[in-house]
Amino acid sequence: MTEAAIRIIDLAKTYAGGKQALKGVSFDVPRGQIFGLLGPNGAGKSTLINILSGMVNKTSGTAEIWGFDIDRDARNAKGSIGIVPQEIVFDPFFTPLETLENQAGLYGVPKSQRRSMELLRAVHLDDKANAYARSLSGGMKRRLLVAKAMVHSPPVLVLDEPTAGVDVELRQQLWAYVRELNRGGVTVVLTTHYLEEAEELCDRIAIINHGQLIANEPTRKLVGMAREKVVEVTVDRDLATVPSSPFFDKIELKGERTVVITYNKDRLNAGGVLAALQGEGLGIVDVSTREADLEDVFLNLTRAVNG
Ligand code: ADP
Ligand code: MG
């Protein structure tokens, strides 16, 4: 038994046809966290999730869920995880209530322990309990999938791109519910290609790109890893030529008196930028800096891997 909620070692997948979707990925998802698996479209996120759910067969490597090996202890592994797939697939002939009852039956949850209405209330679908599934909007269907993933009360909930096609208000409701589950002890893994979403929700973020893990850090540390900083400076006279410094990575004129300077924070700080401008005889009128966000980190890391 490991202490990790999910442990993945050297996981690889080559699809029939030769596409190498995962090239040997290893990481742990610590128990109790909201963990983000971030990466652009085609990175291999769904492949990884679908291996955990048993929908895709891995080519090599191992995976454990709550200490249970997905091959040797498939039944317990499956029972420990609830998965909300990226693709919405529903039987249109069942109502939301029936959908949850069927799923509970599939997982062998005794009638006395079922809590279908409670789950529907939690995802704000109790008024649709007996509606036709086909009458639900895209956002409602996705919330129903979240409830469906929770019928057997798994300790780990995985959501694959949960906010695709969900409007802003419902997204907030979905996140509120996810946070509530997490506070109740459920480990949450979500994949997304939205950086802000991962940054806002996740304790820890792993980034995959082209089937390889390129980062796995606490969110705060990852954000701090952004090395490029940008500062916008307004000076006291029109700039005939663009001032230069060997320490700037890039400098652009934005207006007659405003320049946008990109620098590497390992080599320089904003004070150094201003000193360099003053060294050119320019007076500083106004300064604004932009805080590094995940976008910067992501671009830096993917650039480093690709080039
Ligand atoms: P993500 O979820 O990060 O967008 P996927 O895991 O869906 O990425 O896809 C990773 C790569 O594997 C992509 O290049 C995709 O085209 C390919 N792929 C996904 N599913 C299949 C499949 N069933 N057969 C062949 N290639 C696939
Ligand atoms: Mg995907």
- Domains of the chain, residue spans: 6-223, 227-291
Confidence (pLDDT) at 291: 60
Q: How far, CA to CA in Å, does 212 sit from each of 12, 27, 43, 64, 80?
A: 9, 11, 8, 19, 26
DSSP type of residue 185? T
Q: How far is the CA of 56 from the centre of ligand 1 (A)?
A: 11
Q: Does residue 231's CB lie within 6 angstroms of at least one atom of ligand 1? A: no
Spell out the SS3 assignment of 244-276: CCCCEEEEEECCCCEEEEEEECCCCCHHHHHHH
- How far apart, in whole angstroms, are the C-alpha atoms of residue 65 and residue 46? 17
Q: What is the pTM of this model?
A: 0.79
Q: How far, CA to CA in Å, does 216 sit from each of 8, 27, 31?
A: 13, 8, 15
Assigned CATH class of 6-223: alpha beta
Per-residue pLDDT tens over the stretch 211-231: 999 889 999 888 766 667 788
Q: Lowest-confidence range among 6-10, 256-260, 303-307?
A: 303-307
Give me the mean pLDDT over the 43-69 stretch: 96
Confidence (pLDDT) at 180: 93
| For ligand 1, atom 22: residue with the closest CA | 15
Confidence (pLDDT) at 35: 98
Q: Given ligand 1 and candidates 14, 15, 57, which is best to mutate, with the most ligand atoms within 8 Å of its CB?
A: 15
Q: Lowest-confidence range among 137-141, 142-146, 155-159, 276-280?
A: 137-141
Q: What is the CA radius of gyration of the chain?
A: 24
Q: How many CA atoms lie within 13 A of 199 on its CB side?
A: 15
| For ligand 1, atom 14: residue with the closest CA | 42
For residue 304, pLDDT beyond 60 = no
- Helix-strand-coil split of the chain, %, nearest 5: 35, 30, 35
Q: Does residue 45's CB lie within 6 angstroms of at least one atom of ligand 1? A: yes
Q: Given ligand 1 and candidates 13, 37, 47, 161, which is best to mutate, with the most ligand atoms within 8 Å of its CB?
A: 47
The mean of the pLDDT values for the chain is 89
- How far apart, in whole angstroms, are the C-alpha atoms of residue 227 and residue 168? 31
For residue 161, pLDDT beyond 50 = yes
Per-residue pLDDT tens over the stretch 79-132: 999 999 988 777 778 999 999 999 999 999 999 999 999 999 998 899 999 998
CATH of span 227-291: 3.30.70
Confidence (pLDDT) at 2: 58
